[in-house]
Chain A
């Protein structure tokens, strides 16, 4: 009996009138947890009852505490007939189970009914007394913290990042059970809501157990999804990254860094002293986790890798040797081995994180993705898998070897896909996949499973193995030029997995870089970027014949490669048209419908200073003899060139001119080609190879040989840039803008269009879809025009095909205002810096940091490094790196002579170069103080931070699932009125829960599902929404400054916390 749950029902307000005669309500409340139910007294004749109940006490296992939601039902007492339900409140008590999160849940909760929506509010107080339980074999995982945030949460530091955790639970969908025929829609909806609540509790508990097994204490980047498979059931699955996190005890140590530039410089020396414990466990000091022995969790070892014979996990040591000729080659190889040994022990070296502690990410290979088409009722079906990004491969696999037992089947499906992803990453010379995510698209009995991520080489320092840490590791670190290091190719240039156009890095000129880089992660904070970024989308529709079961699955499988190819081509074209050379946050969604497939890829394009300038787009005609045609072509060509020039201006892309000699000529092509075959043979399962890398030619050639291609070019040019003052991106922050002011507006917009069935051709469809997305964006720009200058961040498009001729697009994003004047200054400064950087030659670079070192030794210890790291960590919130880097600075000074010979110059360059960037970063946080913090407001944002504010506490995960149904659609304002009200209600319920936890914001908010079904003829509609995020307490930086001068910042209390939302 390790837990006692206590609940008190205080009062209700704004209750609906349940008794027509008196226009009043006789309300009472049922409080249910598990199988125990308590009731309050009936409060007669009031719409604002004051129950003031006793404490209802539930004595329960902590396992139940994790799984079960607290269920509060408000009813109207009726003497003669059955009591009428007014509505319910489900409270997830998980946040009360870990010590650092909320201690009490107390506040007004909207009373929700699946048919009527919100009907008044109820004031509830919930507490949990947990008893210590030393049972080793316990089934609960209380105390494991969950975060939706896909980076290390702001007030924690990562001690170890353990790696991938996944789990799924399957159940029958109550909506499809026989009993559903006889029960009311309300009962059915409630059964579903309750079941999903239970399943997510169970799932979270199971994931928590895995984390404990790995000796972690938290899950970061937790993503939980529902697959409504219909007849075949309901799948709740989750992935995340297990970590060992340390709470930063004294936030003061890193706070000033993000406040103001002047402050930073002044306070750095002081920061060293008040926070000695952050230094005590430097990399040279053995961490306590060294004693941990890694025991691979048994649940991982499944028979999943059966079909992959060649995907052995042994390291290919030969891979690193290819680059041995260069400086730092041996280190690279060493690093690779180190990382391998750390990652090898894992079945899936995947990380759901998209932003990392400084130094974690060493190299990025490119996007890897895999898709598979499955039949939900039968398992024998063709599957399709491919690599996305700079390379591509497709194949058909037969999964006959798997049984159809649930949930093993679903597990096996995902295991296969993950295995595939892993092998793709390997082919790119990478041992890990970061920014990893999984998704499904279901239509009738066909299901497309997708997984994607970014192949990467990681620094083993943060990974499990304690032995990696040491002086060796430090040398490795010196070897990494921040700002461009991640762009350097991780694969062997002589043995490339795909043809690419390599050049020497434009930043350090030491290593090779590809001509374009696609990734699913956020832009690393230290990356050198020129100009601003922008949202780039590729949109595509493909008609497909209606078919049944296997034939359908085959048809989809056949279409997928072409779709991926076209999406990729579109992305590449649009990227070039913007004059940019890299994509971040790439997310490709393929949606399956009855008679079509939709592809929507969103990413943020940027110009990485380390990568070469993209070539233009060349149009070539097929029939060159025709004069008028020729003229048309040249006209188009001119238009394209103009657009590129215009875009470069718009996004302030003006890279410094660098003469060819410095960079060196591109690697001769023949060598490249010859090696290509080897890489192909390496992964024997790749049946077809689609060459998507257009990088071989300097200019990008588009051949206009038919009307289709013509359409493509046209659509390329029809994308309208956002109105002036607006920027958009789908990553956390917008590259090139770093002076956010505190005004934020999170929103969800949904559009559904009906296609006229007459003109259903691929072109018409594409046009419709394109218009839908473009119009939606235009509407957003118009609606938010009062916020100019502003940036739409984390723009997240989701496409679904609810019916034959319906396309639904859901967008969630946040608009953040910024200070335009400051923005201009910083970009100018950046450009100057980069120019400066380009002009200085190696010798100068070598001298400068040495001077810096001696200087710093004499006055105060390591300020330059500190400054850089302070600022870098201000974004990622990981001071763990600080101390490591600091000690590496000592090392650097000691080993000056040797290290220079060994190519440590890069490290010093890093410092010099990263500081201006870092400055930019913290200026980003040092938004002008906003005086008017409205009391009771709960902010919501899909980002992991709140501009101009400091997150002081994480209160727990918010994961809510709602169903709303109506049988009076017209009366509720039609489909728009119905959904508008429902989404507003969902926001309200999220805010209420956060406020009850004592929080004032939700970060990393995401609407994972919005399934809308209508039947206008029957005047009915139903909608399911699943949202999640992290409840937090934040303090405005302006308030913080005042507080920190008056009292210890550790005690600083949020100004906006309180039991009540919106006064």
Chain B
């Protein structure tokens, strides 16, 4: 006796959250059944393995049919085939677009191309996330990217509107899209200590302040591309380190203000010129795409690492950065105050976030 056909169709589509998770995690039906058995569900319900097998198959089939709709979530809301309560629809979408931290760190900043897709096997082995799940997550990134690129308006809003994601998840996707578009390097060994959250935080600041959208909300891709003009202008900041008087004045202003307030004052005093050079040079280099990509590497090398090696506490870093950006306003010879604020405001936020072990 073999089962040829075995289906269950409810007027309201049954969604088992546990099975959905297993499916999203890319387990095959037999693996999923084994995992469910291990969870002790048979003992709880008195069911047999055969029942579990049939149930899992059924759910997998449903999810497979739903997947097509999940690719365009508004379709899921308007389709007539599956009657699913709104709360369940939201859950389906949110879970489908959720991603693993380990996976996103691997592909963050990489071009979402076929080439990267080919590397998914390696990522799968490295992260021990199933290849299937990797593919889903990668395809999600790519799909969102494709839909929102060349679109007007706020990136987060666009993502939310077209994929019906929660605010938090939409922000994360905005960061992923932003990173993928600008190809920021995040995979270097130096950067391994940084979490996706750190990058997402930086991305949000950069989208708010450094993109075209920050000055003009009526252009395509406004939140995805950095403001080229702004990057060009950043060269002007070089004077802060190139002009020796200006650098000394800047240093003395900062030192005067922070004397007695900083635990690592002497280290700061000794390192001031190096740090300032580092920060200003990063700005000046951003005209080249290659250097834009290395932004985070540079920030870590030029600022985070030196401070960390001198054991600056975070509070001292905050005090220093605040004073460092504010003091520029007192430099009479410096004419690019607004530019400086646009640059340093964001950078200060990023650096503070990046400064941890």
Contact = CB atoms under 8 A, between A and B. Distances in A.
B55 to A, nearest CB: 6
Contacts of B54: 775, 779
Interface stretch (A229-237, A379-387, A870-878, A978-986): A978-986
B45 A785 contact: yes
Contacts of A771: 1
B270 interface: no
A940 B11 CA distance: 7
A828 B4 CA distance: 46
A121 B79 CA distance: 8
A1063 B55 CA distance: 29
A745 B45 contact: no
A752 interface: yes
Given A768-B1, A779-B51, A984-B82, A1063 B7 contact: no
A315 interface: no
Nearest to A986: B9
Contacts of B86: 934, 1063
Contacts of A989: 80
Interface in A790-814: 806, 808
Contacts of A780: 8
Contacts of A1024: none
B352 to A, nearest CB: 44
Interface string B51-86: 110110110011011000000000101111111111
B5 A13 contact: no
B48 interface: yes
A778 B65 contact: no
A938 B82 CA distance: 11
A753 interface: yes
Given A723-B45, A782-B45, A976-B57, A747 B11 contact: yes
Q: Per DSSP, are chain A's interface residues mostly helix, strand or loop, or mixed?
A: mixed
B78 A1063 contact: yes
Nearest to A768: B1
Interface string A752-795: 11111000000000001001100100111111010000000000
Contacts of A984: 9, 13, 65, 81-82
Contacts of A1062: 77-80, 83-84
A1048 B57 CA distance: 51
A74 to B, nearest CB: 15
B260 interface: no
A234 B64 CA distance: 37
A567 interface: no
Contacts of A755: 1
Given A118-B80, A782-B45, A753 B3 contact: yes
A980 B7 contact: yes
Nearest to B9: A983
Contact of B12 (A745, A779, A977): A745
Contacts of A937: 12, 83, 85
Contact of B4 (A110, A752, A756, A779): A752
A753 B4 contact: yes
A992 B6 contact: no
A581 B13 CA distance: 38
B192 interface: no
A634 interface: no
Contact of B65 (A723, A782, A981): A981
Interface string B211-233: 00000000000000000000000
A846 to B, nearest CB: 52
Contacts of A110: 80-81
B81 A973 contact: no
A462 interface: no
Contacts of A985: 81
A833 interface: no
Nearest to B62: A980
Contact of B10 (A108, A747, A992, A1061): A747
Contact of A753 (B2, B78, B80): B2
Contacts of B84: 1062
Contacts of A748: 8-9
A681 to B, nearest CB: 48
A749 interface: yes
Contact of A782 (B55, B82, B85): B55
Nearest to A977: B61
A1043 interface: no
A779 B14 CA distance: 13
Contacts of A781: 47
A808 B77 CA distance: 34
B46 interface: yes
B97 to A, nearest CB: 20
A750 interface: yes
A13 B11 contact: no
A988 B80 contact: yes
Contacts of A991: 11, 80, 83
A339 to B, nearest CB: 41
B338 interface: no
B81 to A, nearest CB: 5
Contacts of A975: 4-5
Nearest to B77: A1063
B8 A747 contact: yes
A746 interface: yes
B263 to A, nearest CB: 57
Contacts of B50: 775
A987 interface: yes
Given A110-B81, A768-B1, A991-B83, A14 B75 contact: yes
Given A782-B47, A782-B51, A987 B6 contact: no
Nearest to A769: B1
B9 A783 contact: no
A992 B80 contact: yes
Interface string A105-117: 0001010000000
Contacts of B46: 723
Interface in A940-964: 940
Given A783-B55, A1061-B80, A745 B10 contact: yes
B57 A747 contact: no
A578 to B, nearest CB: 20
A989 B80 CA distance: 8
A938 B58 CA distance: 23
Contacts of B83: 937-938, 987-988, 991, 1061-1062
B1 A754 contact: yes
Contacts of A768: 1
A12 B200 CA distance: 40
Interface in A116-137: 118, 121
B80 A980 contact: no
A749 B9 contact: yes
Contacts of B75: 14
A302 interface: no
Interface in A571-598: none
A782 B6 CA distance: 14
A806 B65 contact: no
Contact of A987 (B8, B9, B62): B9
B119 to A, nearest CB: 29
Given A745-B12, A937-B83, A939-B11, A14 B78 contact: yes
B313 to A, nearest CB: 51
Interface of B: 1-14, 45-48, 50-52, 54-55, 57-58, 61-62, 64-65, 75, 77-86
Given A753-B1, A775-B51, A980-B58, 12 more contacts: A747-B8, A749-B9, A751-B7, A775-B54, A778-B47, A779-B55, A783-B55, A973-B61, A980-B7, A984-B82, A988-B82, A1062-B83
- Per CB-CB distance, the 9 closest pairs between chain A and chain B, nearest first, are A752-B5, A747-B10, A752-B4, A983-B9, A746-B11, A940-B11, A988-B80, A980-B7, A749-B8
24 contacts: A14-B78, A110-B81, A745-B14, A747-B8, A749-B7, A749-B8, A750-B5, A750-B7, A752-B5, A755-B1, A771-B1, A778-B51, A782-B45, A934-B85, A937-B12, A940-B11, A975-B5, A976-B5, A976-B6, A977-B61, A980-B62, A980-B65, A981-B65, A984-B9
